[in-house]
Chain A
Amino acid sequence: MSYENPDVPHEVNVSRDNALVEFLRLLAGVALVVLAIAAALYLAGGWLARQIPFATESSWVGDRVLGIDVAPAGTRDDVQPYLQTLSDDLAAAMQLPDSMTIRVHYTQAGTANAFATLGGHIVVTNELYRLMPSENALAMVLAHEIAHVKARDPISALGSGASLALVFAVVSGEADGLAPRLAGLVQLGYSRSVERDADREAVAALRAHYGHAGGGASLFEVLAAQQHPVTGALPTFLSTHPADAERIDELMRAAADWDAVRQPLTPVRVPAARGD
């Protein structure tokens, strides 16, 4: 009977795999799953948000215009009623549901921009208004934003954004900055297909109101010409509503039957406020 202690293989208890490789593989796997869940939640958030009735949305928001501080522009107070009347005419042409009321706000924001936010509020900045070569172009802008409201795009963006913020908060473990981040999300640009749909609705509205869709594409040319000589910055409207060649082509095609001579463009009826 012998007592001995031969060398025992310790590697038995320690796995061979390279820890770093395994870690990266795990990380990739988990990241993929998180992304898939985030994408699903994003879509679900948008869809769910659209189910909220517009009446509820506007009662939540009330008179608040989310996403920008609305300050009255300049000294002229006859622009806003003009915009409101034009918007109402276009809304009627687009057959908006009765519960949707569009309120147009005219403000000064330092850059040419227009957007639709929750509750049927549409904001047009003085800088954009000033640049409009014709009422048709202006109507294009308004009709486009009304189309967003009609399609419930603002609240859908909020819902999708909220889902993403939730996923982000869960992953990073922080929930502090959620609320302010959510409020700003409404102003983000939409996807190409959303923009294309809004364009189509707007073109239809122009046709119904003016009899033709001329003047719509000029909007983008005019804005593109506003590129800052030094910084090269483009008006904000172009960053939230990307004007790629396809988009302009579609607008030109929509106006293909427009006869510039027999159907002259309507000029902007109220001059812009003298900005600061």
Chain B
Amino acid sequence: MELTTLETVPGKTITRHLGLVQGSTVRSKHAGKDILAGLKNFVGGELKSYTALLNESRNEAIERMVAQAQAVGANAVVNIRFSTSNIAAGAAEVMAYGTAVVLS
């Protein structure tokens, strides 16, 4: 399954456009990591646990989007976009969407 943020894959042509596919997931880190992150607010800098959380979420969202694309018979997803939104303290939704296509 080819994944790209471009309109198409260079060197290939799209034979069928199969419409919008999306994958989303909402995850949270456990309370301990939340507390540590709260403490980190004093010092600033990267919140490694939240970065990891969002990375996991993003990967899962992509997996789900790919699963939808496979179900409709696509072999590539183009124009992939991400959207992240804050659900509650320490929980975030990551959505990935794009257009499923058949390349040749």
A is bound by B: yes
Q: Is the CB of B24 within 8 A of A13?
A: yes
Q: Among A4, A9, A12, A13, point to the contact of B17 (Cβ < 8 A).
A: A4
Answer whether residue B15 sits at the interface, using C-beta atoms and an 8 A cutoff: yes
User: Considering the chains assembled together, what is the distance between the CA atoms of A7 and B100 in angstroms?
Assistant: 12
Residues of A close to B22: CB separation below 8 A: 13
Say yes or no for B52: interface residue by CB 8 A criterion. no
Could you tell me the distance between the alpha carbons of A6 and B69 in the complex, rounded to whole angstroms?
10
* Cβ-based interface call for A59 (8 A): no
CB interface residues, B 17-35, toward A, < 8 Å:
17-25
The smallest beta-carbon distance between B18 and chain A, in angstroms, is: 6
Q: Does B53 contact A (CB under 8 A)?
A: no
CA of A4 to CA of B16, assembled, Å: 8
Pick the contact of A2 from B15, B20, B67, B68 — CB < 8 Å?
A: B15
Contacts of A8 in B (CB 8 A): 19-21, 68, 71-72
Provide the residues of chain B in CB contact with A3, threshold 8 Å.
17
- Encoded as 1 (CB less than 8 Å from any A CB) or 0, chain B from 21 to 55 comes to 11111000000000000000000000000000000
Q: A225-268 vs B: 1/0 string, CB under 8 Å?
A: 00000000000000000000000000000000000000000000
Q: In the complex, are the beta carbons of B21 and A2 less than 8 A apart?
A: no
Assess whether A5 is interfacial by the CB under 8 Å rule: yes
Contact of B58 with A by CB under 8 A: no
Q: Is the CB of B71 within 8 A of A13?
A: no
Interface assignment of B87: CB less than 8 Å from any CB of chain A: no
**Tally of contact residues, A, Cβ under 8 A:** 11
B14/A12 in contact, CB under 8 A: no
* Chain A contact surface mostly: loop
Whether A1 pairs with B18 at a CB distance below 8 angstroms is no
Interface of chain A residues 1 through 53 with chain B (CB within 8 A): 1-9, 12-13
Q: How far is the CB of A171 from chain B (nearest CB, A)?
A: 13
A1, A4, A6, A7: the one contacting B14 at CB < 8 Å is A1
Smallest CB–CB gap between A1 and chain B, Å?
A: 6
Is A1 a contact of B17 with CB atoms below 8 Å?
yes
Establish whether residues A6 and B72, one from each chain, have CB atoms under 8 Å apart when the complex forms: yes
A268 to B57, CA, bound (A): 79
Chain B residues with Cβ below 8 Å from A5 are 18-20
Q: Nearest A residue to B71 by beta-carbon distance?
A: A9
Tell me whether A9 and B68 are in contact (CB under 8 A): yes
Residue numbers in A under 8 Å from B67 (CB-CB): 9, 12
Residues B15 and A1 in contact, CB atoms below 8 Å apart: yes
B85 nearest CB across to chain A (Å): 15
Instruction: Give min CB distance, B74 to chain A, whole Å.
Output: 9
Nearest CB of A to B17, in Å: 5
Residue pairs across A and B with Cβ atoms less than 8 A apart, 6 shown, are: A5-B19, A6-B18, A6-B72, A7-B72, A8-B71, A13-B23
A-B contacts besides A5-B18, A9-B71, 16 pairs, CB < 8 Å: A1-B13, A1-B17, A2-B17, A4-B16, A5-B19, A5-B20, A6-B18, A6-B19, A6-B73, A8-B72, A9-B67, A9-B68, A12-B64, A12-B67, A13-B23, A13-B64
Residues of A within 8 A of B (CB): 1-9, 12-13
